[in-house]
Amino acid sequence: MTDVNAVTTHYGGQHLSEQILNALTEEGIDIESLDWKQLAAIDQFHTRGLPATREQAALAAPEAGTKVIDIGCGAGGPARCLVAEFGCSVTGIDLTPEYIEIAEMLTARCGLSDGAKFHAADALDLPFDDGAFDLGWSQNVSMNIADKTAFYAEIYRTLRPGGKFVSSDVVTGLGGEAEWPLPWAREPSISFVVTPEDMRVAMKHAGFHIAEWRDTTGEAIAVFQNPNQQARRGRLGVGLIAGPDFGERSANLAKGLADSAFASVLVLAEKR
């Protein structure tokens, strides 16, 4: 069973909103009128960042007005992208209250609050009616959830018939040993990474039909080797939200992907 308090402790922190605004101000950025793309090195803290968000959105192909539930929305970066670039209406949920505070604050300063709303909630007990959404969305979330079938079943419940679920996640690879800490866990007790086959089985047991399954490990390894990745570890990087040890945690994931301890997947599933 997932220890909810341990997960929120791992991700949460004090004065995160203030730290972000101070860092932006020190870089000469007008915090009263932000462009969401100015935040991409900070708020897209899943593997491969904004390019992965755009790739995932292209796979899901949402139309303007698509109702999206973003499970594990973090600081709201992907939600803002979906609103600004695709015209979606996004509801983001996250277990960590500090992330919801940041998501609401940054979204308001980007002028996107009409399109994205955020709630503190548990992914295993979503506070929404059956069939409320057209598209379920998650990025690097399931690694903290022990009961994968319950996770996917709850997403399935909130989607309308014909709705889609698109997700990117880390799964176990063919070999190699993980080194700690990692982006989603500083020690093993809150890490529940499973094999690709176990993930497939959990989705199918929840009711989903898997329409597409992509192994994106090669792309993830290439990104970690790209000098541009350093921007995400710099002053205006993911560490502002994820913590000062993010560089070490990210490097351990990069090594794990290269050594086949982990793999990266992008999945599109459908509710039939």
211-255 confidence digits (pLDDT tens): 999 999 999 999 888 765 665 666 788 989 999 899 899 999 999
Q: Give the Cα separation of 267 and 10 in Å (integer).
A: 26
- Cross-strand partners of 168: 139, 266
- Residue 227 pLDDT: 62
Give the number of other Cβ atoms within 10 Å of residue 219's Cβ.
17
Name the nearest CA neighbour of 48 among 259, 254, 258, 255.
254
Backbone angles phi, psi at 213, to 5 degrees: -135, 115
More confident residue, 176 or 86: 86
pLDDT of amino acid 230: 60
pLDDT higher at 233 or 101: 101
Return phi, psi of residue 156, to 5°.
-55, -45
Is the C-alpha dihedral spanning 179, 51, 43, 195 positive or negative?
negative
> Residues 18-62: pLDDT tens digits?
999 999 999 999 999 999 999 999 999 898 999 999 999 999 999
Confidence check: pLDDT of 2 > 60: yes
* Domains in the chain with CATH codes: 4-270 (3.40.50.150)
Report the pLDDT value the prediction gives residue 63, as an integer from 0 to 100: 97
Q: What pLDDT was estimated at residue 262?
A: 98
The residue assigned the tokens 């007005």 is 65
Nearest-10 crossing angle of helices 77-86, 49-60 = 50
Mean pLDDT over residues 88-109, rounded? 98
The pTM of this model reads: 0.95
pLDDT of residue 232: 63
C-alpha span between 79 and 116 (Å, rounded): 7
Residue 233: what pLDDT?
Answer: 63
Q: What pLDDT does 161 receive?
A: 98
* Terminal Cα distance for the chain, rounded: 29
Mean pLDDT of all residues in 114-124: 98
pLDDT confidence band for 117 (50 / 70 / 90): very high
CA distances from 113 to 59, 92, 128, 167 (A): 25, 12, 19, 24
